[in-house]
Amino acid sequence: MKLKATITGSKVHDVGYRVFLLKHAMNLAVPGLSVYNWETDGQQQVIALAEGDESRIAAFNKVVTEKRPALAKVSDVAFEPYDGDVGRTSELV
């Protein structure tokens, strides 16, 4: 299963979001993760592409929805199916 999570807010860059998501993905044994910063319409975004079995992706989805780095200012979290390539979590360490 693959998922694209888009985290949008006035301050989601330079607060450790990518490392935060990687740490949680590794703790949940999510085998695939690609995370990058983006900007749309003056809003900062962190895009996370995750791949794993349904239970691991559901757990990762819960983390993305309920937790965030302390300094982050998030206004929206959106999810959608994804069918492209996703990097291996082990390659990010």
Q: What are the φ and ψ backbone dihedral angles of 21, each rounded to 5 degrees? A: -65, -40
Q: How would you classify residue 22: left for phi > 0, otherwise alpha for psi between -120 and 50, otherwise beta?
A: alpha
Contacts of 87 (CB under 8 A, 6+ apart): 32, 33, 34, 49
Is the confidence at residue 93, as pLDDT, over 80?
A: no
Model pLDDT, residue 21: 97
User: Can you give the CATH number for the domain in which 62 is found?
Assistant: 3.30.70.100
Give residue 45's domain range. Answer: 2-84
First to last CA, the chain: 22
Is the confidence at residue 25, as pLDDT, over 60?
A: yes
If one counts the domains in the chain, the total is 1
Structure confidence at residue 92 as a pLDDT band (50, 70, 90): low
Structure confidence at residue 90 as a pLDDT band (50, 70, 90): low
Q: What is the pLDDT of residues 28-79, one digit of tens each?
A: 999 999 999 999 998 999 999 999 999 999 999 999 999 999 999 999 999 9
